[in-house]
Amino acid sequence: MKIAICIKQVPVVSMLRFDNESRRVVREGVPNEVNPFDVLAVSAVAELKQHADVEAVVYTMGPPQAADSLVQCLAMGMDRAVHLVDRAFAGSDTLATARALALALRRESFDLILCGRNSVDAETGQVGPEVAEMLGLPQVTGVRRLELDAQAARVIVERETDEGHERLSCPLPALVTVTEGVAPEAFPRPDDVEAARSTPIEQLTAAELSDDASLFGTEGSPTWVGEVYSEQSDRDAIVVRNEHVDASVARLMQYLEERGVFDDAENAEGGGTSRGPLREHGEMGSIWVVAELLGGDVRPVTLELLGRASELATRLGTNVEAVLLVDGVERHAALLTAHGADAVWLADDARLGRYDTETHTAILARAVADHAPYAVLLGATANGLDLAARLAARLDLGLTGDCIGLDLDDHGRLVQLKPAFGGSVVAPILSRTRPQMATVRPGILTPAAPDFAVPPDVRTLDVGNLADPRVRLLGSVPAATAEGAELEHARVVVSVGMGIGGPENIGVARELADALGGSLGATRDLVDAGWMPRQHQVGLSGKAVSPRLYVAIALRGPLNHTVGIRKAGTVIAINNSPRAPIFRAADFGIVGDYADVVPALTVAVRGR
């Protein structure tokens, strides 16, 4: 069994800072590390090597200092290392990076290729699926369990979804991206690192991969970055300490009243601007929104995308078209139309009863080629991210993943606002290719006020001759509750951290969430401990939420968590340590024991 692992060296995100005068991220003095999700991939292979005959080869593309990351992986038990190092690679976006890695990987024959789910600096999760498409391999993303069946030439995996997890069988060779749970995060001993430094590392230049230098670097990248900027925190940062619990809670309740938080909750049906009358197809093509269902219903992020697409389409002089690739759900056309779609493209086929990356990519790629839209927008969900990256690679398109906003520049180009480096900066991304593609975080945009009087215009997409899926579903397990999936559109979120002491104490937070009519969130550490399902995780490697009210209970609030609550309306923190970072990201904080403060707050909310 021969396995390749693709890794990336990234700066320690929590140590980065942004210089507003020079308009750049300051990296000087910031150490680098192997991307944490890639460490999990290497750790998983190290475990496999203990039980199977595995040759493991680790790849990276980067400047000379990226060799340090390869040394760490060799020290963890990998057999060989390959470094793509050449100034010609500088400035590569995800597509150009995937192209270089695919050409390097094609030089050998691998049974399995592993990547981390995403990198923590760019947070796209695109390179893995793009490499899979370029190599013609089946892919499974977001894998939390992995079992090799070498005799049957397949891998059995558990893939995390927004509803729970799926158990899948994937034939080899294949590409898999991994996330938390796939293996315990391991690090080498200093002696092993020193020993690994004597292991030769193979170097590959751009010329050794292709005679065409335009495939790499800036020239080979369909996207480019505008002037980055930092969003300064505008939180009130009020912190109450050394006061009796009742007094602290009374001050908090008064603050929430003054902010209109309860009024917002009582008027939760408000929406954005009206969808307006039907628009005509413009010369530059339609804005497409790829609709997604969750539990049989249209996901809120689809309606959010339709709302923003409607505003942009009006400015461009074109229309909005929704695309629905599912089985037997023409009934959703009225909802999509009411929220902004001027036409609904429907691929209705029994073979679309469940999401399959290659099947959906084939249909959507054909549709894009036939109808030439101006832009294609998808939700940054488990399936949306998976599909968008594969589609972009197939059509050789630029893609910006996990956006927090969309706009137009003076030339009518789509400006895709992308957070990076743990949300410390926002980078405007533009694309040289058409259609322009982006995935957008759920809960960030505002749906249009619906108008159900507008009649749906339903059109049929040609499904064509679909190949049988290579990845087979063996079973699916829903999350313990559906609440985790609802976080993306919850108007109130109450999150808990390890400071609650144990899973038996989550009920205290649950009572407050119920009193507020909200959903329950969690930190990564708490989820890793098995106290709550992964679908409840908020933060860099979990969900981004944008509720009217976010209450953080007994959680420290490092950057990796607070990046997930940047769009929250009002943030409340309750922690017994006045030095907890969460207070710097909060509007109002109470220093105190959650076991005293939270029950008192629950009583006050119920009393109101």
Task: Report the DSSP beta bridge partners of residue 159.
Answer: 143, 166
Burial of 304-321, coded b for 16+ CB within 10 Å and e otherwise, reads: bbbbbbbbbbeebebbbb
Instruction: Give the integer Cα–Cα distance in Å for 369 and 598.
Output: 55
Residue 448's Cβ-count burial label (10 Å; 0-12, 13-18, 19+) is buried
Read off the pLDDT of residues 580-604 as tens digits, 9 standing for 90 and up.
999 999 999 999 999 999 999 999 9
pLDDT the model gives residue 369: 95
Q: Which residue has the higher pLDDT, 355 or 426?
A: 355
pLDDT of residue 466: 85
User: Whose CA is closest to 398, among 382, 410, 415?
Assistant: 415
Question: Percent of the chain scored above 70 by pLDDT?
Answer: 93
The CATH code of domain 287-467 reads 3.40.50.620
CATH code reported for the domain at 238-268+491-607:
3.40.50.1220
Q: Which amino acid is at 57?
A: V
What tokens does 462 get?
Answer: 């040609």
pTM of the model: 0.88
In the structure, what pLDDT confidence band is assigned to residue 489 with cuts at 50, 70 and 90?
Answer: confident
Q: What is the mean pLDDT of residues 454-475?
A: 92
Is CATH 3.40.50.620 the right assignment for the domain spanning 2-221? Answer: yes
Q: Where residue 481 falls among pLDDT bands split at 50, 70, 90?
A: low
Where does the pLDDT of residue 533 fall: very low under 50, low under 70, confident under 90, or very high at 90 and above?
A: confident
Residue from 383, 385, 407, 405 nearest 546 by CA: 405
Please state, rounded to an integer, the average pLDDT across all residues of the chain: 91
- What is the domain partition of the chain in residue ranges? 2-221, 238-268+491-607, 287-467
- How far is residue 293 from each of residues 137, 186, 306, 354, measured CA to CA in Å? 26, 37, 14, 10
- What is the model's pLDDT at position 264? 57
Query: What is the chain's Cα-based Rg?
Result: 24
| Token pair recorded at residue 108 | 């050998």
pLDDT at 482 over 70: no
Instruction: Report DSSP letters for 354-409, one per residue.
Output: S--HHHHHHHHHHHHHHH--SEEEEESSHHHHHHHHHHHHHHT--EEEEESEEEE-
Over pLDDT 90: what percentage of the chain?
72
**CA-based nearest residue to 218, from 101, 62, 89:** 89
pLDDT tens across 397-448, in order?
999 998 989 999 999 999 999 877 666 678 899 999 999 999 998 878 889 9
**2-221 with 238-268+491-607: one CATH topology?**
yes
Neighbours of 370 (CB within 10 A): 9
| Closest-CA residue to 235 (of 557, 511, 595, 522) | 557
pLDDT reported for residue 446 = 86
Query: Nearest CA to 419 among 411, 410, 429?
Result: 429
Mean pLDDT of 320-348: 92
> What value does the mean pLDDT take over residues 517-541?
89
How many whole angstroms separate alpha carbon 485 and alpha carbon 475? 19
